[in-house]
Structure 1
Amino acid sequence: MPRVNIAAEADLIEQLENEAKKRGYTIYSLTNTALKALLKLLKEGEDANTLESLVDYYLISKALDIVPVTTWFLENLTKLAYEKDSKQYENVCEEVGEQIGSFLRSKASTLDELFDFYNAIKIILPIRNVVAKNTGDLIEFRITGTGFSAISTLCAGRIFAKIAEAYDLNIQDIDAIPGGIVVIKAKILRPT
């Protein structure tokens, strides 16, 4: 098969060559692998930036030991857990929020950096949208696409509240609306 030249930033090629040498790859094999993955996405109608988002999501999933399961499974599991022990269910949701909040804080130290991080990977997340409205020392977060049932949306609210607390926000109110909408009002304790 004939080879062609592809234009890329010199610094990027230099970094790729260094990584290829460390791992025993050729530039030819790495660029073909990357181009095949990108081509698959484009043929499926996805945006080219999805590839980078998928890499970021993979790294997050690996770091947090995330296991992919269907929404149907999660909805039914949350219902069973809530019916068994609602208080313990809410505690588990909060512990998940603390874990994710701690991880995110290590990757994005300010709310602005967190939103930049979110914007980089949002196209592959089940969360549809996150909007923050700042009014003085209060911030209102509106998160959509967090679940279907009241129970799963309640859990999402607890998780997002703990993430907000990781950014030094004092939660004033959590409103979990069935259908996957969470509204969190938080007071800014100190600038992040």
Structure 2
Amino acid sequence: MPRVNIAAEADLIEQLENEAKKRGYTIYSLTNAALKALLKLLKEGEDANTLESLVDYYTISKALDIVPVTSWFLENLTKLAYEKDNKQYENMCEEVGEQIGSFLRSKASTLDELFDFYNAIKIALPIRNVSIKNTGDMIEFRITGTGFSLISTLCAGKIFSKIAEAYDLSIQDVDVVPGGIVTIKAKANLK
């Protein structure tokens, strides 16, 4: 098969060459692997930026030991857990929020950085949208696509509240609506 030249930023090629040498790859094999993955995404109708988002999402999934399961499974599991012991269920949701909040804070130290991080990976997340509105001393977050039932949306509200607390926000109100809509109102803690 004939080879062709591909244009890329010099700094990017230099970094790729360094990583290839460290791992025993050739530039040829790495560029072919990357181009095959990108081609698959494009044929599926995805945007070229999806590849980078998927890599970032993979890194997060690996760091947090996330196991992919269907939303149907999660919805039914949350219902069973809530019916068995609703207080323990809510505590577990809060603990997950603390874990994720701690991880995110280590990757993005400010809310602006967190939203940049979210925007980089949102295409790979089941969450449909996150919006933020600043009204004086109050910050309102609206998160959509966090579950179907009231029980799973309640858990999402607890998780996102703990993530907000990881960013030194004091939660004033959490409103959850079946269908996966969470609204959180918070104030910045003054230090």
In 2, Cα distance between the equivalents of 1:22 and 1:98?
A: 36
SS at match of 1:184: strand
State the shift of 1:60 in Å: 0.2
State the shift of 1:127 in Å: 0.2
Deviations 1:26-68 (A, max 9, x none): 0000000000000000000000000000000000000000000
Query: Unaligned stretches of 5+ in structure 2?
Result: none
State the shift of 1:136 in Å: 1.1
State the shift of 1:134 in Å: 0.3
SS at match of 1:131: strand
Deviations 1:120-158 (A, max 9, x none): 000110000000000111100000000000000000000
Q: What percentage of residue pairs aligned between the two structures are identical?
A: 91
In 1, Cα distance between the equivalents of 2:19 and 2:170?
A: 43
State the shift of 1:116 in Å: 0.2
TM-score normalised by the chain length of structure 1: 0.97
State the shift of 1:159 in Å: 0.1
- 2:78 pairs with 1:72: no
SS at match of 1:176: strand
- Which portions of structure 1, spanning 4 or more consecutive aligned residues, are displaced by more than 2 angstroms? none
- Equivalences, count: 187
SS at match of 1:81: helix
Q: Equivalent residues in 2 for 1:1-192 (5 A)? A: 1-187=1-187
Cα RMSD of the aligned pairs, angstroms, is: 0.3
